[in-house]
Every structure is written in C-alpha cells, then in structure tokens.
Structure 1
Amino acid sequence: MSKKSGSYYTPRSLATFMVQYLSGDLYSSKKRLDILEPSCGDGVFLSAIHEELSELFYKVDAIDLDLAAVEKAHALNLPNDYNIFHADYLEWSIKSDKCYDLIIGNPPYISKKLLSQKQKESCRKAHDKTQGFGSEVNNIWTSFLSDAIYRVAEKGIIAFVLPAEILKVKFGERIQKTLLNYFERIEIFTFSSNVFPNIEQDTIILFLYKAHESEGLYFTTISSSSCLINRKFKLKRKRSLEKQKLKWSAYPLLEYQITHAHKVKKLIPQIIDYCETIPGIVTAANSYFIASQSTVDEYDLTLLSQPIVQKGIYVNGCVKLSKSKMGKLIEDGKPAFFLDLSKSDPSNPKHNEYLKSGVEQKIPERYKCTLRENWYEVPGAWIAEGFFFKRCHDYPKLIYNEASALVTDASYRIKMKEGFDIKSLIFSFYNSMTLAFAEIQGRYYGGGVLELTPSEFKSLPIPYIEITDELFDEFVIQFHNKKSIEDILKFNDEILLKDGLNMPLSEIMSFKQVRNTLLQRRLNISKSQFT
C-alpha cells in the first residue's frame, strides 16, 4: 500500500468474488470479450480473470504506473491474451478510444492536494469525457470512473472497488446523478465493518450495467467476508433514491422511511425561514491570529483581542456559551482570543515584534493574506447571537452566544430574521425529526464526523415554537445535566412534535429509527446488516 501513489491493493478473495459474481453475465454474451484493468497493480484481478473465465474467449489490457507491480503482474506468466503495460493510465487513455465489455479494478485513491499539476490536467481531461462529472477534481479515482464510463461498451459492465466517499461527500452527489443517467442497473455493496483489513479506506464495490433485464438502483451491506464468499446477501432496490430525492448515503433506510421523511419535509418550515447563516471568520492562519492569554500578555495585545471559539470541542455538552464558560476556556490556556492586528500600535515595540514574527512564519504569503490590503487585517470580525458548528460527532451543536464571542469558519454564524429569536430556534432544533434530517442531508468523513454544508443546514426542517427566557434557562440546565442526547430528544419531542405538530407517536418513533440507523452507520458501530 502507498498513500502517495494511491495504491490500496485488493485482497485476492475480493477480486475473485467480483469476477465470479459477473461470470454469469459474461458467459451469456457468447462473443469475444475485451476487458480492461486500468490499475492492475500486481495482477490480483488478472489472476481472478484467468482462473474464473478460462472458458471464455477474451483479450485483456492492463495498465499500471508502478513498475515493480507491473513486473509482478508479468511474473504471473499469463497467456498472450493479456497485454500488461507500464504507463500512467490517464495519459495512456488519451491515445485510445477503444471500448471494453468489462472494465474492472481498484482505481488509485489520491486526493487533489497530492496530485501534480500534470496529473490534475489529465484528471480534468478524463472528466470532460463524461457529461455531469464537472471540471473540479477532488480525487484521482473519479477520473478513472469517468474514463471507464466513456469507454465501456454498449452492453458492457464496470466493476470497481471505490472509496465509500462516493456515497457521502458533496461531489459524490454529482457522480450519483450521472451514473443514474448512464446505466440501467447499479449495484452497490457496502460494508458494515472493516471486512478486508488490508484496505484502509472505507470502501464499496460498485457494479454498473449498461444494459440489464432488471433495472434499478440496488444496495446490500456485507458484515463479513464469508457473506461474499457464500453469497449470503440480498440486494434491495431503492426506488426513492433513484428519483434523486436523497443522497445515496441514506441507503440503509427502508423505502417507507424515505418516503415518509420526504412527505413530512414538504410540510415543515426550514431553518432558512427563521434566520440567515454566515460562515465565521477566515483568518488564513488560526495559530497566528488566535492566541492564548499568555501570548496576549507577552505581546501586550489586550486592546487588540476579542474572545473567540475556535473548535466545537470547546463547547461540548452545552447549548449556551456563557461568560463563565468562555472564562474557563481562557483560564485553561486555550487559544481563545482573536487578534485584530489592524488596531496594532506602530509605536508599541511588542506589537511590532508580533507582526515581525508573522512575517518570519511567512503568514503574509498565504493565499488569503495576499488578497488583503494589509495581510494582518482579517475581515468579517463581527459577533453573532448564535452559531452552528458545521462538523460534529454524536449530534449537531447549535449554540447561544451569551459570551459575545467570535467564531472561526468551523461555524456558521446565526442572524435571526425579524420576529424570531435565537433561544427559540435552539430549543426547537433539538428534536428527533430535525436531527434525523441532519443525518439524511449531511455527509460523513473519517472517524464518523458528520458535516453539513450551509445549504444542508439551512434546509433542515424545524418545528419552531416561541419559548420564554425562563424555559430556555431550564433547557440549558437540562442539556448540561443530560446523560445523553436521547434525554433531551425525549423531552423536546413531546413538546415540539407531539404537541406542536400533532405528530403521531408512530411517526416520531420512525424518525428516531431513521436517526439511529444512519448514526450507527456513520459511526460504524452497527453489527448487523441493513438489508
């Protein structure tokens, strides 16, 4: 395995399963097959093809950039029907318009920041081949998929091991819609745990059929490698996801849950109806512009400093950032002061010393700093009455800003519309329906971190009700003393959903199940299949 090259070699048992699984479709074609393996590595898929499709007449083209891996593939002594090339596939593919009946493999996984400029350009050219992929390249695997779509035959099949981010992240949504436009049948095999230890990425198996007698979008979740080997799985069609009402990350939900969720959402106002959301401060260098009390004292920066909350972890377990809570962060030595260096005094040697230290750290050379008239003047330093942290673990954090602190762009600042108040919004936010939609609409990353983009947060349905300051104060204490978020949801569901929306208990329980199902999948703690 090499993170720099993006090579995560496929377990032999997984490659064998994929070829075996497709063998029925391939044998029924009754013609010579052209097969492509665009990232062959040491030849695990080639060996599987040789062993499982021995009675078929086919030709194989296999390519890999890693010379050592290609030499291992050559050492397999495969028949002359196997053409193994040492090349950069994306460059090799530019010279070829050949179509293939089967394109199979495990494309490399290299994030945009690790790609050379030349690689980025090759990726963009590959994206241009398939309408709907767009010009933005986030990872090299999307380019391999786009090229495969371009060159798969009229009745061909693509079978790829891909990172599960295709189900989770924002650019994955664009790809999902594209696949639905190009293929009659899509099958996605997900894993409830790390079934194959030597694949570090959370992965899926994706089967794409240009033509199939049973069309549709199908999912199954595999709990162990034996489920694949013994074919102990069941594919279930997700018609609601085919209609693009939800991202595919909602696949663990039952059809009636998806249908019910969208029916309800159409009837409930959204967060955007009550407030505006604006990203927090972008400093371009938090470690420099956000300081602890000791740094403020050392450089005489008190008159330049304002309280700031940099990370959601600093406000865990509360719905109010009180003055005492902010004071505790400062007392504990957290970086809790934003430095407004536009107010620095040129006659103060300590101010000049701090500015000089920024130059020595090359802060002025950072991209966002170069866009400013003066590199040390950070725009947008205004205080919001509340803020929402875009990333969370167990549940989202919507906070009342009693301490009048600033926030970084880890948060969205909340500005209430006329006639509504922040305390009521926060109280109304914590219910099973809204948190279920946070799981439905958000995306998740390594370690199970949930993220909501501004549009995803603003479109969350919320059963807003006006509450008194006294009730909010009680809520703050209740939230602080809770054993788990379930304590809060049980109390608020009664007020917001049962009484406020007149929602039947069965529907409330359905939203609880939706949230728990997606939460367990996100945190990867489920021990059972969602099939």
Structure 2
Amino acid sequence: MNFKKFESAEKLRGGYYTPADLATFLARWVSKISPNRTLEPSCGDGIFFEAINNSKLSGEIVGFELDEAEAQKSQERAQTLGLSRVNIRASDFLGWALEAMDDKTERFDAVIGNPPFIRYQYLPALFQDRAQAIFDRLGCKFTKHTNAWVSFVLASFELLRPGGRLAMVVPSEIIHVMHAQSLRSYLGANARRLIVVDPEELWFDGTLQGAVLLLVEKKKKATDYAEGLGIYPVRGRDFLQFDPEDVFNTPQSINGKTVEGKWTRALLAPATRELLDELIATNLARRFDEVADVDVGIVTGANKFFLVEDETVQRFGLQKWAYPMFGRSEHCPGIIYDDEQHQANASSGKPTNFIWFKDTSVERTKLGKQYIEQGLKESLHTRYKCRIRSPWYAVPSVYSTEIGMLKRSHDTPRLILNKVGAYTTDTAYRIRAKEGAAEQLVYSFLNGLTALSAELEGRHYGGGVLELVPSEIEKLLLPPPSKITPEIDELDKAVRTMSMDDVLALQTKRVLGEVGLSIAQQDELLSGWQRLRNRRHRVSSEAT
C-alpha cells in the first residue's frame, strides 16, 4: 500500500505537464470547429496557451488552476503571448463545475487540457466530496478508487455544448481500470464519436504512467447515433504532423460490448473479436465463475510481521504458531507448490511461514511476548486492519484451498496446485474448483484463450505488470476443465524451464486442440494475447 506521507509534492498535486507538441496537436483539432468559448480545467503554468496561440484558436479561454502561483504564471504566459481573451481563475474547478452544471449559460464549445492525476485518498476531504458529487450529479457509479482525472473529464464533457469537442491528455488506464468504467460508459452513451491515440512509448519523463490522447465529439442531439470507439495506435511522434481531423476520422469505430465495458477489446483485430464471440456462443469458452469460486487471500494488515522466514520463527520460538505459506512469484516458479518447493524456499531464506495467533497464548511465553511487543513498537496495532480486531494480532478468515493464484503476473496468470495446504495472503487468491478436479482446472487454465482473456479483463500500471481482482477473474474465459486430460507434472516442468511464449504455444495446442479448436483459431488467440501483452510491456511493434 502507498501512503500519502511518502509521495512527492508533484505527485500529490497531479502536476505532470504536457509536452508542447502534444498540446499543439490537441489545440489544432479543437480549432477545426472555431470555438467561441474554450475551457481549460487544469491549466497549470499555461503550456496549453502556447498551443492555443500556435494553432490560432479563436474565442474566449476560461482556465482553472488551484495553485495560485501556477495560476499567476499561466495568466502571465497568456499575456506575453498576446492572448487577450483569457480568464484564469485560481480556484477549484470541480467546485465551480458543480454550480456551473445548473447554470445553463456556463457552457463551452471546446475543452482542452491535461487533468490532474491524483488518487482519491490523497485528495483533501472537501475535494473528495466534490469528486464524488460530480458522479452523483451525472448518475454515474462512484468508487473510492477513482482518480481525480476521471471527475475532471466527466465534468468537462458535461459542460460542453451539443456538438462540442473535448481534447485531453489522460492516463492510458482509461482503457482498462475499473474506476474509469463510469466514464467509459458515459462517453459511450453521449459522444458521437471518440478516439484514443495510443502510443507505444511513454510520453512523460520521470514516470512509468502511460498516457493517451482522448478526442471526443459530443452528440448534437441525444437521439443521434453513437459511432463508438476507435483506437489510433502510434509509434513515435510522426503522427503529430498529420491533420488531426484525419487522425480523428481514420479508425474504424466499434460499438456494443466494446464500448460498454473495458476498451481493451478495441485493441484487437476484428477476426480475434469475432472468434471470442463465437467461442462464447458455442460454449467452448466458459466463464471462470461457472467452473470455480475465487476469494481473496488472508488479509493480515501487516504482512512483514505475519509472514516470516525460519530464522524469525526460531529466534522468537514461534514454531507452535507457524504454518506454511506462499504469496509471491518467487515462491512458485512452476504450477505445483509441494513439500519440495516449500523446503527449497525455506532453505533460501524466503518468508515461508504464516504466523497465526488464534488466541493470546503467545503472550504467555517470554520470546513470544517480545515478538508481540516488537509489533507494538512498530505501531502495527494502529493500522486499520489490526486495530479493528481484538487482539490486534489475531488474523481472521484463515483457511487454505487446493488451488491458489497470484494477484499479479508478468506474462500471464497461472493457477498453483497447492499440495501442502499452504496459506496465501492478500497477494494471492484462494480458488476452489466447481467443475472437474483441481488438477484439470490448473492444467486447462494455461492456454492462449485464457491468457488473452486475462489481458482483456485485467489492468496494469507503471512497469507493465498485469493485475486481476476477483471480479475480473470471474469473467476470464477458459475451455471446459472437465473435458481436459491433465498432464500436471509435465506442465510444471515446462513452466519452470521454458519461456512463457513457448509454454503457451504448447499448452494452446494441447488444451484448445483437445476441445476442437483448429490450428488457425489457436494461432489467432495466441496472436491476440501477444499483441496485448507486448503493448502492456511496451515492446515495439518493430521488434515483433
């Protein structure tokens, strides 16, 4: 977990300023409709005003910047550029927007900018309330995982006049994170057309956060046809020399389920989307929640205290309360967690013990009491998950399952056959098979269909690591496990010794071939997985 006190001032105010060439491209596109009134909801030091000047964007410009020093810089930059019709307001945009939504005179022909990227929990309480109020006002579902940029885009789009344009730099997570689902649905319902310019590389120095350009044109009437979403992939910056109108009109729009849910489907070739739909319709692709149950791992509230290596167990005499556990990829290099793997982990000094205090008996031993006191000195008892239980070190909901799954993965997720009944923490999930044996589920899970499905349903952040939460895992597609003949030991060896590309190619042939998919269909699924995996890893298309 990230704590506010450890974050930089720049990150807390969401201040990642836009490169001038990207800003100019957005301003050129907006200028095509000759707006009389343009909104810049988070103008920072005024980089977009240079873009506005370069693109000869006419009309009144209304800008907002909460930081007074930055607002002053922005106003001065506008004056230096000779932009006379610029009004910078050193105030909170979201608070103003809530009032402006009721004032029908406050509407704009265009919106341009780069909204602040700030986690909800880092916002002051007043701004948290305003961010949520934007969602409530628009009838959108809100979650406290929401980032500030989502509320900014929602409010800005709502303040557009019919037929108006919104051109913004936004995090690439708009395509896949759950907290942006309300925004995706809202834009899909109210936009005539929306385009995402999706780069292979990172545009912002000093951050692992990817960014995209979002170009949206609002419907003129509520009954107008919504064309849907188009993705415009780019490598390098040559596209900035093109006519922005051509970029906006080039991609083939996709509607229906692609816009209703995550936008990752739009990144696939049409043939791949059609194949997925065919497999679902013929019941050759089953949803994970049809064949298995998934639950979060054990939530300790202080993993470093409760998950320890053998040396700590011996030093504090904790053998009575120590149980086998795994929770990291380094614990599970294959797909089987057995006594041999557990001992190998312990011998290498990894934390392989889950300390489970079922009562207060640990405090009746001298060394055990010292261990509890060590936790108190570290203020662990004040952490939320610890302070709401009594005693603070009694971890609830402790049970193990025959199958585990790590929360994050590099190439693709895999299930772990838990032969020793080891416990898993909240870095992993607990899974029970409902159809077929555990070995069949573990074996059939690793294939091109499921790997592609994980890319479509999961999310990723800086560094390109894929993450899945239980509600996303439940939507994963896989072949019917009961129809698969497992060769579990052979697969375990392959995962330990081969690249994941080679393992998936082999498993796709075995598993999907066994349920009747042709070689061409298998290749289509693998190609789709590689396409999305490489995008997540930011592997250049030139290298593939």
Aligned equivalent of 1:103? 111
Q: Which residue of the other structure, out of 249, 253, 258, is the alignment partner of 2:273?
A: 258
User: Residue in 1 aligned with 2:456?
Assistant: 440
RMSD of aligned Cα (Å): 2.4
1:452 corresponds to which of 456, 465, 468: 468
Q: Could you say what secondary structure the match of 1:358 adopts?
A: helix
Structure 1 residues 95 and 428, CA gap change in structure 2 (3 angstroms): closer
Indicate the residue corresponding to 1:235 in structure 2.
Answer: 250
Q: 1:342 aligns with which of 346, 351, 358?
A: 358
1:217 aligns with 2:229: yes
What are the within-5 Å matches in structure 2 for residues 408-419 of structure 1?
Answer: 408-417=425-434
Counterpart of 1:297 in structure 2 is 314
**Is the partner of 1:448 in helix, strand or coil?**
coil
How far 1:199 moved relative to its partner? 7.0
Gap change, CA 1:218 and 1:402, over 3 Å in 2: same
Report the counterpart of residue 513 of structure 1 in structure 2.
527
Separation of aligned partners in 1, 2:457 and 2:449: 12
Output the CA distance in 2 between the equivalents of 1:242 and 1:494: 29
Deviation string, structure 1 residues 130-188 (Cα, Å, up to 9, x no partner): 22252645211111112112211122111111111111211122221111111111111
The Cα of 1:326 is off from its aligned counterpart by 0.8
Cα drift, residue 242 of structure 1 = 5.8
Shift of 1:59: 1.3
Aligned to 2:512: 497
Give the Å deviation of 1:208. 1.4
Asked if the contact 1:216–1:237 (Cα under 8 Å) also holds between the matched residues in 2, the reply is: no
**3-state SS, counterpart of residue 506 of structure 2:** helix
Q: 1:18 Cα shift?
A: 0.9
Structure-to-structure mapping, 1:121-520, within 5 angstroms: 121-134=129-142, 136=144, 138-195=146-203, 197=205, 201-211=209-219, 215-231=227-243, 235-240=250-255, 244=259, 247-266=262-281, 267=283, 268-316=285-333, 318-343=334-359, 344-417=361-434, 420-463=436-479, 464-465=481-482, 471-482=487-498, 484-498=499-513, 500-520=514-534
> C-alpha separation between the residues in 2 aligned to 1:5 and 1:324?
49
Partner deviation per Cα, 1:30-75 (whole Å, 9 max, x = no partner): xx71111111112121222233235x4x111111122232222222
Work out the CA distance in 2 between the residues paired with 1:222 and 1:444. 19
Structure-1 residue corresponding to 2:124: 116
Partner of 1:86: 90
Aligned partner of residue 239 in structure 1, secondary structure? coil
CA spacing shift, 1:127–1:319, aligned 2, 3 Å: same
Q: Does 1:33 align with 2:36?
A: yes
Q: TM-score, with normalisation over the residues of structure 2?
A: 0.89
Give the Cα–Cα distance (whole angstroms) in 2 for the partners of residues 276 and 4 of structure 1.
38
Q: 2:27, 2:52 within 8 Å by CA — same for their partners in 1?
A: yes
Partners in 2 of 1:433 and 1:110 — Cα distance? 35
Distance in 2, matches of 1:360 and 1:197, equals 39
User: How far apart, CA to CA, are the structure 2 residues paired with 1:281 and 1:103?
Assistant: 45
Distance 1:115 1:506, change over 3 A: same
Greater shift, 449-458 or 211-220, is seen at 211-220
Unaligned runs of 5+ in 1: none
State the secondary structure of the residue aligned to 1:383: coil
**Alpha-carbon distance change, 478 to 216 in structure 1, aligned in 2, over 3 angstroms:** closer
Does structure 2 conserve the Cα–Cα contact (< 8 Å) formed by 1:281 and 1:408? yes
In 2: Cα distance, 1:23 partner to 1:237 partner: 23
CA change 1:246–1:65 in 2 (3 A) is closer
Conserved? CA contact 2:229–2:266, under 8 Å:
no
Decide whether aligned partners of structure 1 residues 224 and 208 sit closer, same or farther in structure 2, where only a CA change above 3 A counts: same
**Quick one: distance in 2 between partners of 1:453 and 1:225?**
35
Residue identity in the other structure for 1:16: T
Q: Secondary structure at the match of 1:101?
A: strand
- Offset at 1:467? 6.4
1:44 has 2:53 as partner: no
After superposition, give the CA deviation of every residue in 1:210-242 in whole Å (9 maximum; x if it has no partner).
Answer: 137994322101211222124595731242566
TM-score, length basis structure 1: 0.91
In structure 2, list runs of 5 or more residues that go unmatched: 1-8
- Return the alpha-carbon distance in structure 1 between the equivalents of residues 28 and 269 of structure 2: 29
Contact residue 110 and residue 140 of structure 1 kept, 8 A: yes
Distance 1:242 1:272 in 2: 20
Is the CA contact 1:59–1:81 (under 8 Å) kept in the aligned structure 2? Answer: yes
Q: Is the 8 A contact 2:306 2:355 kept in 1?
A: yes
